[in-house]
């Protein structure tokens, strides 16, 4: 059964000048996780706000657990949980105050509200800060508290709008752990994100959204296949560029490419860290000391490039640059385009 | 019934905020007390009231009304802050009565007024304010003041819902209420104003409120241009009419605006 269905959602602002959603459709199978992946301004928040009854679309329809969100918003509100893009908690109150207040607004009664608040604080490792005003919380703690507030009555369907944006790597890891736990509990989850690795980690299915439309849909494996896997990246002195290009090309078995300005050599690899070690060993033998090395996972940018068909063009330019150290000017222009889009 | 319970949870939240940041309460009482002292000692000597007990008797009702009029700004900026901080989205995604949030806030601001009026009353007493009308009429005056503050609170709700920025709303509300409280009989008799202005000042709800309170505290009122007309003869009734008008306009308007916020 489908838990969330959205069909042909359109939402415009400023008398139609800004099209936040342009006929967006999606659906989520009960008990699964869908990630809505897209850059800033793609329309992610707008979809979430419509599905959670905070916003009425200009046209299109949507239902959550079989209930029409436009016709029966009050019924939808009883079964959903929402953690918006910006933590929506009362900053002057303590974490405990907030959760008890929300419990009472869910009509749990005083005792049950307190019990539930304590339980959630414990579960999200916030017990120690429970009696401190939210103002003193870190970004990660705030997000966890906000999530806790959306779980007070164990929603059937949960919406998380960019749950890790703005968190440091540790906060992000913690948040992922928390979300994975929730998913194990069987909740249906719609989660928006700007990060491919986050969608990859948490979601069963991904829809890629741009300019208010779905431009691709699939499992993360399918998307990654389309985008290509990891890339090995190495930065060396100008003097060693030629030699390094050759080594990287040999180890990866693919054409290594050069970003001339950054003196960065890169190549697609299938064996990940093994390839990395091999390259480092070969460089060491040749007495070359890299300034920077790393494995780069495909990013949202890469997904977009492959989906919007710019990859072939870009690859051609890079190849050209790699071969003959030419085409510097063209490359620069390409880079600017890339920067402009992201 | 649930609607009222929900509203009370919101009211409780406001009281909790005051408990967590007591400075807010301290400053919102210091300001009116400071006004009492300033007016009492700066103007008190130069304004001849022709009434027993001196200027402070006339001043206190004026300052009480001014302070309750400022409820408008307090409510507006408090609500605007919730609106702009995303907190409102959470409230609106909860299965609660839609008017609970705004209704709860007006109650909270009403409770705050009780505290502020009490502290001001004590301060006034210390500097010589002695109402002579007896406990029943004095209590009635305070209930009346609270009702006035409550009515204006709904204007504040409307302003807060229309706002994009909490500070702008606060400043705008002051820009409206401040002149209204001075273009009145609150601090000096209207009889000293240009005649054209007297009409405005004497029909001003602030003036009818002040006049009503003075009556209830056992004082006489002076009216200029409008002497003998309805607001000067029946300031209490006139004030009640104003309150009803304000509520009849702004309660439905605000509730509708809050409910329609998802059309934007
Ligand atoms: N209230 C609004 N008024 C005008 N434009 C808006 C409003 N809300 C969103 N938009 C525009 O709609 C588009 C989609 O916004 P949003 O859904 O917030 O994107 P995302 O969450 O993916 O970053 C953006 O171009 C944004 O500027
Ligand atoms: Mg967003």
pLDDT tens by residue, B97-126: 878 889 999 999 999 999 999 999 999 999
Chain B residue at shortest CA distance from A105: B6
The answer to whether residues B117 and B36 touch, using CB atoms and an 8 Å cutoff, is: no
Which of A156, A193, A146 has the alpha carbon at shortest distance from A64?
A156
Which of B61, B36, B43, B101 has the alpha carbon at shortest distance from B217?
B61
Rounded-to-integer distance, Cα B255 and Cα A266, Å? 60
Mean local confidence (pLDDT), A132-160: 93
Q: What percent of chain A has pLDDT over 70?
A: 86
| pLDDT surpasses 70 at A339 | no
> Apex CA A250: angle with CA A244 and CA A252, to 5°?
100
Q: For position B249, what pLDDT does the model report?
A: 97
pLDDT tens by residue, A308-337: 654 323 333 333 333 333 333 333 334 433
**Contact at CB, A55 and B2, closer than 8 angstroms:** no
| pLDDT surpasses 80 at B254 | yes
pLDDT tens by residue, B194-252: 999 999 999 999 999 999 999 999 988 888 888 888 888 999 999 999 999 999 999 99
Rounded-to-integer distance, Cα B253 and Cα B248, Å? 9
Give nearest CA residue, ligand 1 atom 24: A41
Q: Which residue has the tokens 């999200």?
A: A124
CA of A28 to the centre of ligand 1 (A): 23
Ligand nearest to C-alpha A166? 2
Q: Which of A6, A16, A26, A46 to probe ligand 1 with, by most ligand atoms within 8 A of CB?
A: A46
CB-based contact, B137 to chain A, within 8 Å: no
**Contact at CB, A88 and B20, closer than 8 angstroms:** no
**Residue B164 C-beta-side C-alpha neighbours within 13 Å:** 1
| pLDDT surpasses 60 at A341 | no
Ramachandran assignment for A15, one of left (phi > 0), alpha (psi -120 to 50 degrees), beta (any other): left
The mean-pLDDT minimum among A57-66, A258-267, B39-48, B58-67 falls in: B39-48
Q: For position A328, what pLDDT does the model report?
A: 39
Distance from CA of A120 to the nearest CA of B (A): 17
Q: For position A197, what pLDDT does the model report?
A: 84
pLDDT tens by residue, A164-222: 988 888 889 989 999 999 999 889 999 999 888 899 889 999 999 988 999 989 887 77
| pLDDT surpasses 90 at A271 | no
Chain-centre distance for alpha carbon B6: 25
What DSSP state is assigned to residue A133?
B
Fold of domain A230-296 = Alpha-Beta Plaits (3.30.70)
Can you say whether the dihedral through the CA atoms of B19, B23, B25, B26 is positive or negative?
positive
With DSSP H G I counted as helix, E B as strand and the rest as coil, what are the percentages for chain A, rounded to 5? 45, 25, 30
| pLDDT surpasses 80 at B156 | yes
pLDDT tens by residue, A21-32: 999 999 999 999
Mean local confidence (pLDDT), B154-161: 94
Q: Which of A82, A90, A101 sits opposite B93 (nearest CB)?
A: A82
Q: For position A299, what pLDDT does the model report?
A: 67
Can you say whether the dihedral through the CA atoms of A135, A141, A146, A150 is positive or negative?
negative
Contact residues of ligand 1, CB 6 A cut-off: A 13-14, 18, 20, 38, 40-46
Residue with the bigger pLDDT between A232 and A99: it is A99
Mean pLDDT for chain A overall: 84
**Residue of A90, A96, A148 to mutate when probing chain B, most B C-beta within 10 A:** A90
| pLDDT surpasses 80 at B51 | no
The mean-pLDDT minimum among A29-38, A42-51, A68-77, B166-175 falls in: B166-175
Q: For position A87, what pLDDT does the model report?
A: 78
pLDDT tens by residue, B75-97: 999 999 888 877 888 888 888 88
Q: For position A258, what pLDDT does the model report?
A: 84
Q: For position A308, what pLDDT does the model report?
A: 63
- Assigned token pair, A43: 């329309």
Mean pLDDT for chain B overall: 90
Task: Label residue A227 by pLDDT band (50, 70, 90).
Answer: low
Residues in chain A with CB shorter than 8 Å from the CB of B9 are 101, 104-105
Q: What percent of chain A has pLDDT over 90?
A: 51
Q: For position A228, what pLDDT does the model report?
A: 67
Chain-centre distance for alpha carbon A335: 23
Q: Residue by residue, what is the 3-state secondary structure of chain B?
A: CHHHHHHHHHHHHHHHHHHHCHHHHHHHHHHHHHHHHHHHHHHCCCCCCCCCCCHHHHHHHHHHHHHHHCHHHHHHHHHHHHHHCCHHHHHHCCCCCCCHHHHHHHHHHHHHHHHHHHHHHHHHHHCCCCCCCCHHHHHHHHHHHHHHHHHHHHHHHHHHHHCCCHHHHHHHHHHHHHHHHHCCCCCCCHHHCCHHHHHHHHHCHHHHHHHHHHHHCCCCCCCCCCCCCHHHHCHHHHHHHHHHHHHHHHHHHHHHHHHHHHHC
CB-based contact, B15 to chain A, within 8 Å: no
Mean local confidence (pLDDT), A290-309: 74
Q: For position A342, what pLDDT does the model report?
A: 35
Mean local confidence (pLDDT), A96-102: 96
**Contact at CB, A77 and B5, closer than 8 angstroms:** no
CA of A42 to the centre of ligand 2 (A): 8
Rounded-to-integer distance, Cα B116 and Cα B120, Å? 6
CB-based contact, A181 to chain B, within 8 Å: no
The answer to whether residues A45 and A17 touch, using CB atoms and an 8 Å cutoff, is: no
**Residue A55 vs residues A45, B85, B160: alpha-carbon distances, Å:** 10, 17, 19
**Contact at CB, B89 and A82, closer than 8 angstroms:** yes
CB contact residues (below 8 A), chain A span 15-34, against chain B:
none
Q: For position B165, what pLDDT does the model report?
A: 84
Distance from CA of B257 to the nearest CA of A (A): 14
Buried b (16+ CB within 10 A) or exposed e, B186-211: bbbbbeebeeeebebbbbbbbbbbbb
**Contact at CB, B95 and A77, closer than 8 angstroms:** yes
Q: For position B247, what pLDDT does the model report?
A: 97
Rounded-to-integer distance, Cα A198 and Cα A219, Å? 13
The CATH number given to A2-224 is 3.40.50.300
Residues of chain A with CATH 3.30.70.100: 230-296
**Residue of B93, B101, B103, B260 to mutate when probing chain A, most A C-beta within 10 A:** B93
Task: Label residue B48 by pLDDT band (50, 70, 90).
Answer: low
Residue with the bigger pLDDT between A147 and B50: it is A147
Which of B83, B13, B64 has the alpha carbon at shortest distance from B206?
B64
CA of A17 to the centre of ligand 1 (A): 12
Which helix (H) or strand (E) segment holds residue A247: the answer is: helix A241-252
**Residue A259 vs residues A229, A265, A305, A320: alpha-carbon distances, Å:** 19, 6, 17, 11
Q: For position A333, what pLDDT does the model report?
A: 39
The mean-pLDDT minimum among A14-28, A218-232, B136-150 falls in: A218-232
Which residues lie below 8 Å from residue A166, measured CB to CB, with a gap of 6+?
A139
Q: For position A305, what pLDDT does the model report?
A: 67
Structural domain spans, chain B = 2-259
């Amino acid at each position: 059964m489908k838990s969330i269905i959205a069909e042909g959602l359109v939402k415009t602002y400023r008398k139609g000048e800004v099209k936040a959603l342009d006929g967006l459709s999606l659906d989520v199978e009960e008990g699964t996780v869908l990630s809505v992946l897209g850059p800033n301004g793609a329309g992610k928040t707008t979809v979430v706000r419509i599905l959670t009854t905070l916003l009425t679309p200009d046209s299109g329809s949507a239902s959550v657990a079989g209930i029409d969100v436009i016709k029966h918003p009050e019924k939808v509100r009883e079964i959903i949980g929402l953690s918006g893009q910006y933590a929506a908690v009362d900053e002057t109150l303590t974490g405990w105050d907030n959760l008890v207040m929300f419990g009472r607004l869910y009509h749990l009664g005083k005792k049950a509200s307190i019990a539930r608040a304590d339980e959630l604080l414990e579960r999200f490792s916030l017990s120690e800060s429970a009696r401190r005003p939210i103002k003193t919380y870190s970004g990660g703690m705030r997000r966890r508290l906000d999530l806790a507030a959306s779980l007070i009555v164990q929603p059937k369907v949960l919406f998380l709008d960019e749950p890790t944006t703005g968190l440091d790597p540790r906060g992000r890891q913690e948040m992922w752990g928390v979300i994975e736990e929730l998913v194990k509990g069987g909740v249906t989850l719609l989660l928006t994100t700007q990060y491919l690795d986050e969608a990859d980690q948490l979601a069963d299915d991904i829809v890629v959204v741009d300019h208010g439309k779905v431009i691709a849909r699939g499992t993360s494996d399918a998307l990654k296949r389309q985008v290509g896997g990891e890339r090995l990246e190495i930065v060396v002195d100008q003097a060693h560029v030629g030699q390094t290009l050759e080594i990287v090309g040999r180890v990866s078995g693919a054409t290594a490419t050069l970003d001339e300005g950054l003196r960065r050599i890169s190549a697609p690899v299938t064996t990940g860290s093994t390839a990395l070690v091999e390259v480092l060993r070969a460089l060491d033998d040749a007495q070359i000391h890299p300034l920077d090395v790393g494995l780069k996972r495909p990013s949202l940018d890469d997904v977009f490039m492959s989906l919007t068909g710019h990859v072939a063009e870009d690859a051609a330019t890079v190849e050209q640059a790699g071969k003959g150290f030419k085409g510097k000017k063209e490359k620069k222009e390409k880079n600017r385009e890339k920067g402009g889009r992201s | 019934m649930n609607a009222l319970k929900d509203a009370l949870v919101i009211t409780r939240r406001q009281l909790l905020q005051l408990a967590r940041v007591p400075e807010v309460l301290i400053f919102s009482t210091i300001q009116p007390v400071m006004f009492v002292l300033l007016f009492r000692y700066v103007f008190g000597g130069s304004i001849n009231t022709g009434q027993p007990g001196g200027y402070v008797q006339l001043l206190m009702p004026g300052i009480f009304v001014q302070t309750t009029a400022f409820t408008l700004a307090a409510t507006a900026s408090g609500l605007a802050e919730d609106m702009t901080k995303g907190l409102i989205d959470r409230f609106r995604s909860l299965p609660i009565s839609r008017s609970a949030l705004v209704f709860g806030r007006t109650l909270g601001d009403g409770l705050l007024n009780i505290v502020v009026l009490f502290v001001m009353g004590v301060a006034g007493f210390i500097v010589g304010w002695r109402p002579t009308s007896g406990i029943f009429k004095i209590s009635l005056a305070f209930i009346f003041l609270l009702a006035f503050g409550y009515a204006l609170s709904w204007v504040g709700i409307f302003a807060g819902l229309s706002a994009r920025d909490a500070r702008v709303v606060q400043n705008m509300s002051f820009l409206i209420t401040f002149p209204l409280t001075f273009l009145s009989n609150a601090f000096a008799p209207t009889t000293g104003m240009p005649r054209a202005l007297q009409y405005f000042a004497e029909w001003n709800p602030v003036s009818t409120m002040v006049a009503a309170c003075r009556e209830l505290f056992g004082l006489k009122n002076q009216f200029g241009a409008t002497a003998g007309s309805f607001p000067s003869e029946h300031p209490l009734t006139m004030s009640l009419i104003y309150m009803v008008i304000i509520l009849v306009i702004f309660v439905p308007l605000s509730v509708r605006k809050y409910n329609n916020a998802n059309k934007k």
